[in-house]
Copies of this chain bind each other. A is one copy, B any other.
Amino acid sequence: MTGTTIPREDHGRAPDAPLRRKPTINDVAQLAGVSFGTVSRVLNNAPDVSASTRERVRRVIEDIGYRRNRAATALVTSRSTSIGILSDGSPRFGPVGTLMALENVARNKGYATTVISVQKPYEESVQGALDSLDDTGVGGIIVIAPLVEMAAAVWNASCRLPLEMIAAGASSTPNVFTYSENQELGARLATQHLIDLGHTDIAHFAGSMDWFDGRVRKRGWEAALRDAGLKPGLCVEGDWSPRWAYETALQLVREARIPQAIFAASDHTALGLIRAFAENGVRVPDDVSVIGFDDIEGSDYFLPPLTTVRQGFTGLALMSMEVLIGAMEGRDVDRTPIAPALVVRDSTKPATS
């Protein structure tokens, strides 16, 4: 019986009649012996109320557990304290990490978040999701759009509200925040790491070109090689999955075309790739260096522990929230990109030659 540590008696909820009427501003006013206007003033920290009254009202509020009704407030002010998040439905590492971070930041800033996720086909689902979000009374929307197709759908959709898109590599427009610079930088970092190790034949197991992330990471790899005066190595484009990487790597093994080093577009990609090598006696990092991207949970316990690149989701979330809330409140915020970090572990090693 595992439940024994939990006090089952005496918990506060049961005694509460569920759904008893919520106290209103009028209840407070009556109890405090003032008018509802005064209560409203103390709620909003408005002036024109004496210290003693303010205190008295505060105490009543505390006592009866009054909480202001957001629907009523939203109705009359027509400004809201919640923001909508539109996300791709896939439970992938990047999007989910961003999502969690966004929620956290929003709450710290006093905003509630409403999340809606969409699936393909985006052209059909996005507009509806945006509308639903609008319906719920959010004051602004952040879109997490890792897929190019989804971003396009968002562009084509119409939306009254301030909207901001987190889409790596989409060029910035007035209402699109982009963190492309960082991902490309991350890819450069990864590639540069391999270059620094003395490798010259550096392949890329790219992600899906349907994803901004895939496109941008590839671009970073190309750029790093170009800047180093190296000619581009093998590049295969996949779908991020371990399966694809596995099979593609198998092919390479069969054809004996194994490069010196590989920049895998994601840790999951690296996973499949490493397995294919391991099964065929190709040692990582002795025979081939592999670097991933994401630093997913557990990547430090891959075989071998994976060298990879970590992005700062919280930094990104903080930044984009700042921008959106700024837009909602009519302010303007500057957008400094966030830098990713190289995490060196055991899957990469200096060139032997």
Question: What residues of chain A have their CB less than 8 Å away from a CB belonging to chain B?
Answer: 2-3, 5-8, 11-13, 16, 18-20, 22, 67-72, 74-75, 82, 89, 91-92, 96-97, 100, 103-104, 107, 112-117, 131-132, 134-137, 148, 151-152, 155-163, 169-171, 173, 175, 212, 215-216, 219, 242-243, 245-246, 268, 271-272, 274-275, 278-279, 297-298, 300-303, 305
Quick check: A158 and B274 within 8 Å, CB to CB? Answer: no
Contact B132 A107 (CB under 8 A): yes
Which listed residue, B159, B160, B298, touches A268 by the CB 8 Å rule? B298
15 A-B contact pairs sorted by A residue (CB < 8 Å): A3-B169, A8-B155, A8-B173, A12-B158, A20-B160, A67-B135, A71-B71, A71-B75, A75-B75, A91-B97, A96-B96, A112-B135, A113-B114, A271-B301, A275-B301
Question: Which one, B5, B19, B75, contacts A160 given CB within 8 A?
Answer: B19
A71 contact set on B, CB distance < 8 A? 70-72, 74-75, 137
Contacts of A103 in B (CB 8 A): 115-117
B303 touches A152 (CB 8 A): no
Q: Are the C-beta atoms of A300 and B70 separated by less than 8 Å?
A: no
Known: A2-B169, A2-B216, A3-B171. A107 touches B96 (CB 8 A): no
Query: Which of B16, B116, B159, B279 is in CB contact (< 8 Å) with A16?
Result: B159
Most chain B CB inside 10 Å of its own CB: which residue of A163, A219, A297: A297
Complex contacts, A136 vs chain B, CB 8 Å: 70, 82, 112
* B243 and A300 contacting across the interface, CB-CB below 8 Å: yes
Residues on the B chain within 8 Å of A100, using CB: 89, 91, 96, 117
Answer whether A7 and B156 are a contact pair too, CB < 8 Å, given A75-B71, A298-B268.
Answer: yes
Q: How far is the CA of A135 from the CA of B22 in the complex (A)?
A: 11
Q: In the assembled complex, which residues on chain B have CB atoms less than 8 Å from the CB atom of A271?
A: 298, 301-302
Among B74, B112, B158, B169, point to the contact of A132 (Cβ < 8 A): B112
For A151, what are the chain B residues with a Cβ–Cβ distance below 8 Å? 6
Contacts of A160 in B (CB 8 A): 16, 18-20, 22
Separation of A93 and B274 alpha carbons in the complex (Å): 23
CA distance A7 to B2 in the complex (A): 57
